[in-house]
């Protein structure tokens, strides 16, 4: 997937009437959309084309449990065009986005939903808003993040990796811990793969890191107190703690710019994000969220 051209103006037009509408009016699904059901899916593909000869695969794996619905709504009503404009203005070529929705395999009806990699505003928006915001999740402090990571490790194929040995980007949002292991029975039930044994979370992350640069995005500092330590044990400096969920698109775009070498210091990154529309009142918080990653890259 991933054909067609991106238009920032078209994307803004899609979102223009949504700012003051309810979440239910934007996300209308009341169950997993059939085309986002991962059961039996062989591959989600991100391919080069004449329009996009240097495709770069980017996944947003969005926690859609009860405490995490704000980020999908922000992206679908305000933020996603800004993310795309920031990348394109900074010469990050041919981004192709896939949206995934993650819940809890223990308690939810739709613990995993998976869209397609897309290049146009209309199709990005389609898969994002086709996500079912189930609003569930368990009461045990864990969600099935490792199930989403497993799917991405085993059921994606991307020309950026196949042709250029360049990993895609993965941004997973959440405010809970992963399960320590992924049950082979859960994998068979939800995805259809038959495994010989359960997999540890560490094994799954090692596998997904072969084809993706994964980041875990925590929506605010209060929730970071609960889950940040465990995710840093798993991903190191690729844990990005926001000050407020509204910063999600500038922080994720900034992480790509840093990793792609588009900025050589934080002041240069700040200038790039300002040019893309970062407001003065959010600037300090966005840069603070990116500082630990920048320090590692610049040193």
* Domain residue ranges of the chain, discontinuous segments joined by +: 8-298
Residue 96: phi and psi, rounded to 5, are -125, 125
* pTM, two decimal places: 0.97
Domain spanning 8-298, CATH architecture: 3-Layer(aba) Sandwich (3.40)
Q: What is the pLDDT along the chain (299 residues), one digit of tens a residue?
A: 667 889 999 999 999 989 789 999 999 999 999 999 999 999 999 999 999 999 999 999 999 998 898 999 999 999 999 999 999 999 999 999 999 999 999 999 999 999 999 999 999 999 999 999 999 987 689 999 999 999 999 999 999 999 999 999 999 999 999 999 999 999 999 999 999 999 999 999 999 999 999 999 999 999 999 999 999 999 999 999 999 999 999 999 999 999 999 999 999 999 999 999 999 999 999 999 999 999 999 98
List the end-to-end C-alpha distance of the chain, in Å, as a whole number. 37
6 Cβ neighbours under 8 A, 6+ residues apart:
84, 88, 95, 119, 120, 121
In 3-state terms the chain splits into helix, strand, coil percentages (rounded to 5) of 45, 15, 40
Q: Are strands 95-102 and 56-63 parallel, antiparallel or unpaired?
A: parallel
- Measured CA to CA, the distance from residue 160 to residue 12 in angstroms comes to 27
Yes or no: say if 86 and 273 are a contact pair by the CB < 8 Å rule: yes
């Amino acid at each position: 997937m991933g054909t067609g051209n991106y238009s920032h103006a078209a994307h803004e037009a899609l979102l223009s009437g949504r700012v003051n509408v309810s979440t239910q009016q934007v996300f209308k699904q009341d169950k997993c959309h059939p085309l986002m059901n991962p059961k039996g899916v062989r591959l989600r593909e991100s391919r080069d084309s004449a329009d996009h000869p240097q495709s770069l695969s980017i996944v947003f794996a969005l926690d859609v449990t009860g405490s995490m619905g704000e980020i999908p709504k922000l992206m679908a009503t305000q933020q996603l065009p800004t993310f795309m404009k920031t990348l394109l203005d900074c010469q990050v070529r041919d981004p192709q986005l896939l949206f995934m929705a993650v819940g809890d395999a223990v308690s939810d009806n739709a613990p995993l939903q998976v869209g397609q990699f897309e290049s146009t505003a209309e199709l990005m928006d389609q898969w994002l808003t086709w996500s079912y915001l189930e609003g569930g999740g368990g009461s045990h402090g864990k969600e099935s993040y490792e199930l989403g990571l497993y799917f991405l490790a085993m059921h994606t194929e991307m020309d950026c990796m196949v042709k250029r040995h360049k990993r895609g980007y993965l941004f997973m949002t959440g405010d809970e811990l992963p399960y320590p292991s992924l049950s082979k029975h859960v994998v068979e039930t939800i995805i259809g793969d038959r495994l010989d044994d359960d997999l540890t979370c560490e094994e799954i992350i090692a596998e997904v890191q072969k084809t993706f640069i994964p980041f875990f995005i925590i929506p605010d500092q209060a929730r970071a107190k609960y889950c940040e330590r465990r995710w840093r044990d798993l991903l190191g400096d690729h844990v990005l703690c926001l000050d407020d969920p509204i910063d999600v698109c500038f922080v994720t775009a900034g992480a790509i710019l840093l990793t792609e070498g588009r900025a050589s210091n934080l002041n240069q990154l700040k200038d790039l994000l300002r040019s893309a529309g970062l407001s003065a009142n959010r600037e300090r918080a966005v840069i603070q969220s990116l500082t630990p990653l920048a320090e590692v890259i610049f040193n």
